[in-house]
Structure 1
Amino acid sequence: MTRGIGWYVHHQGAGHLQRAWAVAGALPRPCTILGTLAGFDTAGLDVVDLPDDRPLGAAAFDGRDGEAERPQALHYAPLNHPGIRARMARIAAWAERTDPALLVVDVSVEVALLARLLSVPTLVVRLAGTRTDRPHLEAFRSATRLLAPFPAALDGSSVPDWVRAKTLYAGFLGAPAQGLTEGSRDIVVVFGRGGTGGSLADLAAAARAVPDRPWHVLGPVSGSGEMPDNLHLHGWVPDVEARVAQAALLVGGGGDGVVALAAAQAKRFLCLPEERAYGEQTEKAEALARLGAAIVHPGWPPASAWPGLIRDGLALDPAVIGALHDPDAVRGCAAAIEALVRHV
């Protein structure tokens, strides 16, 4: 009987699940997705839905557990949390029942270390940013290999050599290319699930500052007020890729999903990195700027800056960011995982 693998997905944003879904479909062996999956479409997937581990009674989750002390190898280990107790027990029960050949961990230091204690080999996902704190490094040490869901050209300069050597650079995973659209004047703004979304007031000010172009906004937008005629809010849409294909310029954060979209479709890109732990978006944006693959502005620009930013964005050579897209990334990642499984 072929041993399967597991893929643990974090619940912050949709990118973790999208990566798992894309690669699982290319694997030659069964793959089970483990995570807190309420609110996500998991049709057709083999899943283990895990109890929520976010702080009890908290309106938002900032990754902190509020504990005065914790073991230095851990990031998030609150005490007296029944959801975490049940979550870890369910992962352990799944591992004992199925004898997995590998667990991909995207992402959690605690789950990576639990898997090591359960004698399960791991492929630990390494996101962008400066992750040289002790918990991250201990998780990296515990792993059989590391997986970077971005090209090596976007890696940070502060990554230790031994971490680089242990890393499989898979490239962007799960962003299909679309046919190029010529002659469009559209500015397409994308807000993902992992951020705070857009502000109607800010978007309206930007659209008024560049009134000769249609602005199309995908994702959540908060606030109310008068909208200029060239601003169009579409909310969540099932055809993000097709709508981005219509863009003369793509505007979005520095998360993997939006950057992968820009690369897959070779779109001129104005990157507005958001504040994230470990500088995940800012370091990736800095690498894009260094390569000449994007125009970068930290956070949402003031209205007066938009004409110049749009002008500079439209002057980019889209072939530069397009070169970061590997059309075989998903198949290559699946093949690398299969090779790893056969040798651990």
Structure 2
Amino acid sequence: MSTRPIGYYVHHHGAGHLNRARIIRDAMSLPVTLLGTGIESEGIALADDRLGASFDGQDQTANRPKTLHYAPLDHEGIRNRVARITQWIADARPSLMIVDVSVEVAMLARLTSVPVLYVRLNGQRSDPAHLEAFRGAQALIAPFAQAMENPATPDWVRAKTYYAPGLSSDGPVLGAQNDTVLVIIGKGGTSLMAEAIADAARSCPDRTWRVVGNLSTPSERPRNLVFAGWTDNMAEEVAKASVVVGAAGDGVVSLVMAADRPFVCIPEQRPFGEQHATASGLQRMGAATVCPAWPDAQEWPATLSAALALDPKGRRALNDPQAAKRLALWIEAQAASGVAQELAA
């Protein structure tokens, strides 16, 4: 088996991409080098390519090619990161590049003669840029169950995809359940206001409401509401809760499914309808109570009851405790295949 390293590009919006990269890296027997913005302590640090505080991986450049999502002109950060990535590839000669996620980096790696494994998120990704990135990749990785697939996904994309549900999970953690409603606020941004959570807590005085994530405390907070801030022990928080309330990002969904907890899913607006596609899949599988928006205060008792009444078979079908180990073996086989093809040539 080749001992050449595997490169892993990490997108820098939200916490899920880096968490997933760490889980995959730690399951691998081959060396893995992370490349991304803000990872100075554990990989190759890349210059920031963002135009401003708000960043969704797309730009409005008038003459941007349809096969790219993000290509603003005269951006020093982009020039520096492209140079850093290509220099690392030239020096390290990786057997593979895993790209999570960026059409531009996938194309860049392909142009530098490196096989690409592209992490394909859920949603409506039939635009030219996504389809060409999928076409140019050796294979695709979906960090969700096949049952959660968007019905509009082309058959050839499905056939090229390795489905790996549970990758963003730290694994199940045993915890003593209590009557806590855990509200998770991810790092990818939220439309939720603290006052709305306070109103929900007031409507359910028999339960403790605990909020983890970066959200300001409201001016008036009921006694059964706790704002705990961000935590790196999210799996432990989920394991102790009786019900979890959160968005439909892969990280949150995987944590909740792994912990086998009732889930109230409220999808956020994301590019390509990613979270709404995931929420639809959860609803089809009976794995969560899905709400299109934050319920009114008086609706929360019934909403929690509906989540608690769900048959756990739905959520259990969407988790694979061995997902990281299985994926690592598959990636190593992909790396060996690429090296064998190179030697044969």
Q: How does 1:1-344 map to 2 (within 5 A)?
A: 2-37=3-38, 43=41, 45=42, 47-55=43-51, 58-175=52-169, 176-179=171-174, 181-182=176-177, 184-196=178-190, 198-222=192-216, 224-344=218-338
Amino acid at match of 2:12: H
Displacement, 1:198? 4.2
Q: TM-score, normalized by length of structure 1?
A: 0.94
Give the SS at the match of 1:335: helix
Partner Cα distance (1:180, 1:292) in 2:
24
Cα distance in 2 between the residues matched to 1:224 and 1:269:
24
Provide the residue aligned with 2:342 in structure 1: none
Instruction: Report how many residues are paired.
Output: 336
Q: Name the CA distance, whole Å, in 1 between partners of 2:166 and 2:267.
A: 17
Asked whether the 8 Å contact 2:183–2:246 carries over to 1, the reply is yes
The AA in structure 2 aligned to 1:336 is W
Gaps (5+ residues) in structure 2?
339-345
Which letter does structure 2 place at the counterpart of 1:19?
R
- Residues 133-142 or 235-244, more deviating: 235-244
Does the 8 Å CA contact 2:144/2:250 hold for their aligned counterparts? yes
CA displacement 1:218-276 (0-9 Å, x = unmatched):
10113631100110110012322112111111100000011001110100000000111
Over the residues paired in the alignment, what is the CA RMSD in angstroms? 1.4
Moved more, 160-169 or 310-319: 310-319
Tell me, in whole angstroms, the C-alpha distance in 2 between the residues paired with 1:31 and 1:307. Answer: 47
1:198–1:220 contact (8 Å) kept in structure 2: no
TM-score by length of 2: 0.94
Structure 1 unpaired stretches of 5+: none
How far has the Cα of 1:281 moved from its partner?
0.5
CA distance in 2, matches of 1:225, 1:318: 37
For the Cα contact (< 8 Å) 1:265–1:322, is it kept in 2?
Answer: no
Q: Identity percentage over the alignment?
A: 49
Q: How far does residue 24 in structure 1 lie from its aligned partner after superposition?
A: 0.8
Q: How many angstroms does 1:339 deviate by?
A: 0.4
Q: Where has structure 1 moved over 3 Å in runs of 4 or more?
A: none
